[in-house]
Amino acid sequence: MTIIIKNGRVIDPANNIDEPKDILISKGKIKALDSPGKINFNTEEKPSVIDAKGCVVCPGLIDMHVHFREPGFEYKETIKTGCESAAAGGFTSVAIMPNTNPVNDTRAVTEHILSLAKSEGLVNVYAIAAITKKLAGESLSEMGDLKNAGAIAFSDDGRPVMNNELMRRAFEYSKMFNLPLIQHSEMLDLTEGGCMNEGMVSTELGLKGMPSEAEDIMVYRDIALLEKTGGRLHVAHISSKNSVELVRQAKSKGLPVTCEVAPHHFTLTEEAVRGYDTNTKMSPPLRTSDDVEAIKEGLRDGTIDIIATDHAPHDITDKHLEYQNACFGIVGLETALPLSLKLVDEKILSLSKVIKKLTSTPADIFSLRAGNLSLGSDADILIFNPSLEYAIDISKFHSKSKNSPFDGWKVKGKTTHTLVRGKTVYSENTN
Q: What residues act catalytically?
A: 310
Q: At what angle do helices 241-252 and 213-229 cross, to 10 degrees?
A: 20
Q: How far apart are the C-alpha atoms of 396 and 56, rounded to whole Å?
A: 23
Q: How far apart are the C-alpha atoms of 65 and 49, rounded to whole Å?
A: 33
Q: At what angle do helices 336-345 and 351-358 cross, to 10 degrees?
A: 150
Q: How far apart are the C-alpha atoms of 69 and 402, rounded to whole Å?
A: 14
The pairing of beta strand 410-420 with beta strand 423-427 = antiparallel
275: Cα separation from own chain's centroid: 27
Query: What letters, b where the CB count within 10 A reaches 16 and e where it falls short, cover 155-170?
Result: bbbbbbbeeeeebbbb
Cα Rg, the chain, nearest whole Å: 21
Give the amino acid at 363.
A
Q: Classify residue 364 as left (phi > 0), alpha (psi -120 to 50) or beta.
A: alpha
